[in-house]
Amino acid sequence: MATQHIDLPVTGMTCSSCVRTVERTLKQTEGVADASVNFATERATVDFDPAQVDLSGLIQRIDDAGYGVAQATINLPITGMTCASCVRNVERALKKPAGVLSVNVNLANEKATVSYLPGAVRRSDLIGAVEAAGYGVLDLSNVAKADEVDTERAARQAEIDRQQRMVLIGAAFTIPLFVLSMARDLVMASGTMAPATDWLMWSGFPVVFFLLATPVQVIVGRQYLVSAWKALKNRSANMDTLVALGSSVAYIYSIIVLIGLIFGIAGLGEHVYFETSAVILTLITLGKLLEARAKGRTSDAIKQLMGLSPRSALLLRDGEEVETPIDEVVCGDTLVVRPGARVPVDGMVVEGRSSVDESMLTGESLPVNKSIGDAVIGATVNTSGRLIIEATRVGAQTALAQIIRLVEQAQGSKAPIQRIADQVSAVFVPAVLILALLTFLGWLVLGQATFTTAMVHAVAVLVIACPCALGLATPTAIMVGTGRGAEMGILFKNSAALESAQRLQVIALDKTGTITRGEPTVTDVISLGDTTTDDLLRLAASVERASEHPLGQAVVAAAKAKSLALSQPEGFESESGRGVSGVV
Exposure letters 94-133 (e unless 16+ CB within 10 A, then b): beebebbbebebeeeebebebebbbbbbbbbbbbbbbeeb
Which residue among 147, 318, 510, 530 is the active-site one?
510
Answer left, alpha or beta for residue 65, where phi above 0 means left and psi between -120 and 50 means alpha: alpha
DSSP letters spanning 222-233: HHHHHHHHHHHH
Q: Is the distance from CB of 282 to CB of 171 less than 8 angstroms?
A: yes
Question: What are the CA-CA distances from residue 238 to residues 19, 335, 346, 429 (Å)?
Answer: 10, 53, 46, 6
∠ at Cα 469 (465, 471), nearest 5°? 105
> What is the rounded CA–CA span in Å between residue 203 and residue 188?
13
Q: Which helix (H) or strand (E) holds 129?
A: helix 123-132
Looking at residue 198, its amino acid is: D
Longest CA–CA separation in the chain, Å? 106
> What is the rounded CA–CA span in Å between residue 174 and residue 286?
13
> What is the rounded CA–CA span in Å between residue 57 and residue 261?
53
**Selection from 30, 58, 57 nearest residue 45 by Cα:** 58
Q: Is 555 helix (H, G, I), strand (E, B) or coil?
A: helix
- Cα 142 from chain centroid? 31
> What is the rounded CA–CA span in Å between residue 172 and residue 241?
25
**Cβ burial, residue 570 (10 Å; 0-12/13-18/19+):** exposed
Distant-in-sequence, close-in-space partners of 175: CB < 8 Å, separation ≥ 6: none
Q: Is 369 helix (H, G, I), strand (E, B) or coil?
A: strand
Catalytic residue flag (residue 422): no
E strands, 455-520, where?
A: none
> What is the rounded CA–CA span in Å between residue 345 and residue 309?
8
E strands, 220-353, where?
A: 312-317, 320-325, 334-337, 346-351
> What is the rounded CA–CA span in Å between residue 450 and residue 445?
9
> What is the rounded CA–CA span in Å between residue 377 and residue 361?
9
> What is the rounded CA–CA span in Å between residue 467 and residue 287?
8
**Residues known to be catalytic:** 510
